[in-house]
Amino acid sequence: MAHRGFDAGDTGLENSMPAFQAAVDLGYRYVETDVHATRDGVVVAFHDETLDRVTDRRGAIPELSWREVSRARIAGSEPVPRLEDLLGSFPEVRVNIDIKTPGAIVPLVQVIERTQAHSRVCVTSFSDQRRDAAVMRLTRPVATSAGQRSTASFRAAATLPPLIRATVAARALRAVDALQVPPHHHGLEVVTPTTLDAAHEIGKLVHVWTINEAAEMERLLDLGVDGIMTDRADVLKDVLTRRGQWVA
């Protein structure tokens, strides 16, 4: 999965239309993005709450109008994309959407409903509450992944004896389809054979972020992860191609 698209030249164009186009040009069918809503309810594909780090403008997106945000240029050259433009420009692409703030919940639901994109989005958030608030407002099911609370509950369940592990793990992840986690957290290994087995035995997918080194990609694929998010879409494609696992 192409994390914030693919910036081939490392030019700071994350979450820009050229970055998403570059991922699609490589053959990717899955991209990841983040969403915020402007003061007037326009949903933008953008990671930070403020424009400051990656654009030539300053200010918090929830406090700015779309007109103001639209004047910003990522890396000084590309406009901030609306989520609706991303979905409309790449109708065959599936989009993993991380809800960054509570104010983006209702506007995101409106975009998904308006574009009828239910079957090609995965709605997620570090906050299970934010994710659930969006999902409950949608008229059709969407794919989902676990937030911090349900992930912590699952990790605890995965350490239980096998006879009760599946029941408790299924309860922890009952509201979602996937687990999206880093390989390590606070010095502890998150993605292990035990956690993978616990997820897979209850039918949940495991995606790992954000992996940019080929050797680590190989290690995780050997363990049996179901997906990898990466800034280096070119490297991941090469790894998957060598393994005979690349599907364009």
Selection from 139, 145, 99, 146 nearest residue 117 by Cα? 139
Cα–Cα dist 111/69, whole Å? 18
User: Residue 41: is it exposed, middle or buried by C-beta count within 10 angstroms (0-12/13-18/19+)?
Assistant: middle
Paired with 33 in beta bridges are 97
For residues 99 and 44, is the Cβ–Cβ distance under 8 A?
A: no
Of the candidates 90, 4, 98, the one whose C-alpha atom is nearest the C-alpha of residue 54 is 4
The number of C-alpha atoms within 13 Å of 182 and in the hemisphere containing its C-beta is: 10
CB-neighbour burial class of residue 204 (10 A; exposed 0-12, middle 13-18, buried 19+):
buried
Q: Which residue numbers are catalytic?
A: 3, 47
Closest CA to 2 of 218, 207, 216, 184: 207
Strand 143-144 with 121-124, pairing: parallel
